Amino acid sequence: MKRLVSRSIPLLLFFSFVPSFVLSLPLGANLWAISPPENLSSHSSVIKQSDEANGGLFISEFMASSDGSFLDGDGNASDWIEIWNPTEQTISLIGWRLTDDENDLRKWTFPDTSETDLSIAPGGYYIVFASGKGETDSGKSYFIDAASYLHTNFKLSAAGDSVALISPEGTAVSSYWNFPEQRQGVSYGTDANHSIGYFKAPTPKKANGSVVLGFLEDTKFSVDRGFYNEPFPLEITTASEGAAIQYTLDGSEPSPTNGIDYIQPIPIDKTTILRAAAFRDGYQPSNIDTQTYLFVADVIKQSPNGEKPSDAWPNPSAGSSGFGGGGRPGQPGGSSGSQAYNYGMDPDVTGSS
């Protein structure tokens, strides 16, 4: 296989383009527990949530790597923790605790103060910022920002950490021990189906949407895009265990329902635009990766009549001049019609007919 380096070949390249959760807690049991999803098996997470017998409150969502989409009262992008009250009673947080350390359940306590409201209405949510400001120089064991949000004396680590809600009696009624690595701007928690995972669209102080169990790694190609003059086999892989790879050869976006199942190396023996992505039920698909392999012998013969490479490409549009409808090749037609989508090679340039 030889890869060619082009210096000044007059050709048109076919570049690709991309044209109120309501959770009913089980009654009559002290705890329900959810084991971590399969992709989190390397973490010793066991997420436990309380029912009404243990006070009813639990951590429904948190963010350990803020992107600034939800700021604290001082305008800072701090970590945050959301506590939900699914019961029919207003509950005071005075005396409850939060911790990021399984060996220190008394790490930070909701204060007995009138400086801010510490009650959660039925069905309501309460936000606490995990900024590390929870102990101040004033001698107080808590910090309240300009918008009356409380701040803990610890931060959450995006590399993987723990967070738990502790009842006044000292019981960890809602815990995410050893939660996995987090992504910036993506929250983590429990959805209406009792599933634990990531929320691509965080919803602080609102009902949660559905989780994804993880994010699939991008596809990798054994041969990089470029110019070639000999056929070669192409292998596509992903580091995500259990993921299936779909690919297309017509420029369209691969999906679980569109494309070809990758099973074995793909023979590449002509100019090819290949798009691929990894998929798995319950997981966020990988990005779509595109590789364009150009065989120079094919270039001067591509789209000889100006036709589009496949149905995934825009229709050629008529212009006022030039080969195949006029205008500069590859440029969209304007309102005056002076430009056009123009596929193929100009025979006046290639000397072919």
Q: What is the pLDDT of residues 211-226, one digit of tens each?
A: 999 999 999 999 999 9
Which residue numbers in the chain have pLDDT < 70? 1-55, 136-139, 317-340, 346-348, 350-353
> What element of type H or E holds 348?
helix 347-350
194 burial (CB, 10 Å; 0-12 / 13-18 / 19+) is middle
**pLDDT attached to residue 299:** 77
158 burial (CB, 10 Å; 0-12 / 13-18 / 19+) is middle
- Decide if 161 contacts 179 (C-beta within 8 A): yes
Strand partners, 273: 292
What is the arrangement of strands in the sheet containing 125-130, beginning at the earlier edge strand? 143-144, 150-151, 125-130, 79-84, 58-63, 187-190, 196-199
Alpha-carbon torsion 314, 317, 322, 323, what sign? positive
Q: How far apart are CA 293 and CA 229, in angstroms?
A: 10
The string over 98-134, giving b where at least 16 C-beta atoms fall within 10 Å of a residue's C-beta and e elsewhere, is: bbbeeeebebbbbbeeeeeebebeeeebbbbbbbebb
Strand partners, 131: 155
H helices of 63-189, in order, are: none
**pLDDT attached to residue 352:** 61
**pLDDT attached to residue 318:** 52
Domain boundaries, the chain: 31-199
**pLDDT attached to residue 328:** 42
- Decide if 91 contacts 115 (C-beta within 8 A): no
Q: Is 54 helix (H, G, I), strand (E, B) or coil?
A: helix
| CATH classification code of 31-199 | 2.60.40
Q: Which residues contact 137 (CB under 8 A, 6 or more apart)?
A: none
**pLDDT attached to residue 220:** 98
Q: How far apart are CA 254 and CA 271, in angstroms?
A: 19
